A and B are shown apart, each in its own frame.
Chain A
Amino acid sequence: QSALTQPASVSGSPGQSITISCTGTSSDVGAYDYVSWYQQHPGKAPKLLIFDVTTRPSGVSDRFSGSKSGNTASLTISGLRTEDEADYYCSSFTTSTTWVFGGGTGLTVL
């Protein structure tokens, strides 16, 4: 149950787009289309942004989008805003009937 691999940090300027990668294996990310993404502000609970690789829950901005190719999933945030500054985590269901999170990526909006 090794954590999925995410970059420790990314940054961008307001209005720009950034992409966060999430690399797993054929036993998790590559096995199912059950990748989700969460946003977490300091001291707060995580918030679901994307589920089933590409689907946004009701109420989540369409500036957030997800994709997957092979064992790597990605989260793209377009039109960056200062309030997007947070930690982002990917998660995947696995062939062991467990869930695994990525190590998290801190986004800085410069």
Chain B
Amino acid sequence: EVRLVESGGGLAQPGGSLRLSCAASGFTFSDYSMNWVRQAPGKGLEWISYVNGRSDAKHYADSVKGRFTISRDNAKNSLYLQMNSLRDEDTAVYYCARDRPRGYCSDYWGQGTLVAVSS
């Protein structure tokens, strides 16, 4: 069974940092590209970052470019999102999601971790 479990969310101050993790199981992690998608309270989904299986292709939404860094450790079956220079508008539930092979979409999602940015 494919399972994705996010952790690392919590309260952060504006300008602060957090590191999210996503533990993957039930599939060969290194074979799949992964994404981070977030959802602000009461709002829609927003794609924020992508990394391929070898970590040689990474993409970011303009809203987080230069502040957030996606990474992965295939030996640990884990995906990460380093979030720096946090802003109030980064408050959201953050989901990690697995890409379908050549599907340009996400077929499995974690349950999400809440990040709240407030002074």
Instruction: In the complex, identify which listed stretch (B7-15, B16-24, B42-50, B67-75) lies at the interface while the others stay far away.
Output: B42-50
Q: Which of A1-53 contact B (CB under 8 A)?
A: 1, 3, 32, 34, 36, 38, 40, 44-48, 51-52
Cross-chain contact B95 with A46 (CB below 8 angstroms): yes
Chain A residue total in the interface (Cβ 8 A):
27
Closest residue of chain A to B57, judged by CB?
A97
Inter-chain contacts of B103 with A (CB < 8 A): 36, 51-52
Interface string of B78-119 (1 = CB under 8 A from A): 000000000000000001010010011111011110000000
A97 / chain B contacts, CB cutoff of 8 Å: 59
Q: How many residues of B contact A (CB 8 A)?
A: 24
Chain A minimum-CB-distance residue to B6:
A45
Bound-complex Cα distance A52 to B109 (A): 18
| A109 to B45 CA separation, bound complex (whole angstroms) | 22
Q: Please, how many angstroms separate the alpha-carbon atoms of A98 and B45 in the complex? A: 14
Whether A101 contacts B44 in the complex (CB less than 8 A), given A1-B62, A45-B110, comes out as: yes
Q: List 7 A-B contacts (CB under 8 A).
A: A36-B106, A47-B109, A48-B105, A51-B100, A57-B107, A98-B59, A104-B45
Chain A contacts to B: CB under 8 angstroms: 1, 3, 32, 34, 36, 38, 40, 44-48, 51-52, 57, 87, 89, 91, 93, 97-104
